[in-house]
Chain A
Amino acid sequence: MSFRLWPLALVLASCHSGPAIRASADIVKTDIERARRANAVRCAPRELATAEANLDFAFGELDQGDSARAYEHITEAELASKKAVALSRDCAPRQVVVKEEPKLVVKLEETDKDGDGVLDKDDQCPSLPGPAENRGCPREAPKDRDHDGVLDADDKCPTEPGPAQNSGCPVVDADGDGILDAADKCPNEAGPMQNFGCPVLDKDGDGIPDDQDKCPNEPEDKDGFQDDDGCPDLDNDGDGVPDDRDDCPMLPGPAENKGCPRQYNLVSVTKDRIEIKKQIKFATGSAKIVGLESEKILDEVAQALKDNAQIKKVRIEGHTDSVGDDAMNLKLSQNRANSVMSALIKRKVDPARLEAVGFGETRPIASNATAAGKAENRRTEFTIAEQ
């Protein structure tokens, strides 16, 4: 080396002098510490290790007095430490800023303790959440107090079980007639379905409904005579003797005979006529009544009419045989009927109950070819026309 290069060598040597390297080492040390604080162990582990190791090596070389090698190491340490710092910039754990809760400055007067959105001042249940439409009170679960399956809201009888068809009310049949009150026109009076649940009235209690009872206020006497009309038949035979005093209530008879028909010798009273057992005799070709027997017959006929007041009208019929002129026979029969009627009237029979009709030969009952037949055809009959 020439003497002219000595100054340069001294300058170069001074560049890597121990104190300068130590100064650089301090800077590297500071950077390493920064990098460590920035969690470089995690984010730049190789760079951190390189920086620390080379820093150690640099000090080692300095101790050995080899500043050139120390410089190499410190340079490498410096580069590595800066790199570690750079890589660890965003690696440090983030700081959590805990902000102090702002202190309550204004106290709200309108509170909502249960948080149901209804202010306490409007909330009827301020400690229980509930919808506004329920005034802040919890909406209650639908109730069915009578457990009939119909909710109380729809149950007209919420405490009495009943089917939904009856709006939750019990099915009632107050009169127990088997017809529910809802369909019973008379819910408090038992009655058959045919009468819409209303009782069939039978005011007289005779068992015949009033609507079929001709005498709803009088009980039928049920005596076997016209028992279906509902009317009492107090004198069945109409003989004027009440049935309760009539020994023969179905047969007309005078009271003197206890309502039983009187037994006559020459006549008998049937349903439609008063039969005479023998004929009343007239003079030939005349209307004059003859013979004691005829008088007795008329007496009994009159008595029969008196005894049978139910006979309102009796038609006295005169008939002839075919002998002679028809017109004459007709006139004769009429005259003879009139004679009989007169005879009865004489015997105190009400004339209003009598009428006389002559039929002539028009209604024979036997053959006019024989004498016996003609005798039968000549006759007087008492037909009951009205009773």
Chain B
Amino acid sequence: MAFPRASLLSVLAVGLASTGCGPIQSTSYLIDAETMLAAAKTAQADKTAPYEWTAANLYYVKSKEEVGYSDFEQAVDYAKKAVDFATKARDAAVKAARRNTSAEPVTP
């Protein structure tokens, strides 16, 4: 018995969607989270935005943990939160840096 070609492509698409999309998505969000965490670290968010920095790291670690359990949906969810907190941490750190810079006395 031979399967028609269109039916084969449909089966492949459904299979990819059900098995391979999760890891790709979670990996992509984890890379984003990693990048944003690095940016936040560069902005010294660990010192100036400890709440956001801590939360971002916890979600990042948990996301990777969920990937290990192949719970990609949860991993993506945590990775998004990690990106979100890392972004906030970086923004807060940049603002704090600006405040400190403007507060410093100007030396001729």
Consensus secondary structure, chain B interface: helix
Contact indicator A64/B74 (Cβ below 8 Å): yes
Contact indicator B58/A49 (Cβ below 8 Å): yes
Contact indicator B51/A53 (Cβ below 8 Å): no
Contact indicator A53/B59 (Cβ below 8 Å): yes
User: Chain B 47-81, CB within 8 Å of chain A: the 1/0 string?
Assistant: 00011111100110010000000010010011001
With A60-B74, A64-B71, A64-B74 given, is the CB distance from A45 to B50 under 8 Å?
yes
User: Chain A 28-58, CB within 8 Å of chain B: the 1/0 string?
Assistant: 0000000000000100011011101110110
Closest to A66 in B: B69
Contact indicator B50/A46 (Cβ below 8 Å): yes
B81 surroundings in chain A (CB, below 8 A): 56
Q: Tell me how far the C-beta of B78 lies from the nearest C-beta in chain A, rounded to whole angstroms.
A: 8
A48 surroundings in chain B (CB, below 8 A): 51
A53 surroundings in chain B (CB, below 8 A): 54-55, 58-59, 62
Contact indicator B74/A52 (Cβ below 8 Å): no
Q: Tell me how far the C-beta of B45 lies from the nearest C-beta in chain A, rounded to whole angstroms.
A: 11
Q: Tell me how far the C-beta of A162 lies from the nearest C-beta in chain B, rounded to whole angstroms.
A: 61
Q: Tell me how far the C-beta of A72 lies from the nearest C-beta in chain B, rounded to whole angstroms.
A: 11
Contact indicator A46/B54 (Cβ below 8 Å): yes
Contact indicator A49/B54 (Cβ below 8 Å): yes
Residue among A46, A49, A64 with most chain B CB within 10 A: A49
A95–B81 Cα distance when bound, in Å, is: 35
Contact indicator A50/B58 (Cβ below 8 Å): yes
A346–B87 Cα distance when bound, in Å, is: 174
Contact indicator A49/B51 (Cβ below 8 Å): yes
A228–B89 Cα distance when bound, in Å, is: 129
Closest to B49 in A: A45
Contact indicator B74/A50 (Cβ below 8 Å): no
B62 surroundings in chain A (CB, below 8 A): 53, 57
A46–B71 Cα distance when bound, in Å, is: 26
With A53-B59, A53-B62 given, is the CB distance from A45 to B74 under 8 Å?
no
A342–B55 Cα distance when bound, in Å, is: 176
A52–B54 Cα distance when bound, in Å, is: 11
A60 surroundings in chain B (CB, below 8 A): 74, 77-78
- Among B52, B71, B74, B78, point to the contact of A49 (Cβ < 8 A): B52
A41 surroundings in chain B (CB, below 8 A): 51
Closest to A48 in B: B51
Q: Tell me how far the C-beta of A217 lies from the nearest C-beta in chain B, rounded to whole angstroms.
A: 102
Residue among A48, A50, A53, A56 with most chain B CB within 10 A: A53
B53 surroundings in chain A (CB, below 8 A): 49
Q: Tell me how far the C-beta of B50 lies from the nearest C-beta in chain A, rounded to whole angstroms.
A: 4
User: Chain B 25-63, CB within 8 Å of chain A: the 1/0 string?
Assistant: 000000000000000000000000011111100110010
Closest to B74 in A: A60
The 10 closest A-B pairs by CB, nearest first: A45-B51, A49-B54, A53-B58, A49-B55, A45-B50, A46-B54, A49-B51, A41-B51, A46-B50, A53-B55
Give chain A's interface residues, CB within 8 Å of chain B. Answer: 41, 45-46, 48-50, 52-54, 56-57, 60, 64
Sample of 5 further A-B pairs with CB below 8 A, known A46-B50, A60-B77: A46-B54, A48-B51, A53-B55, A54-B58, A56-B81
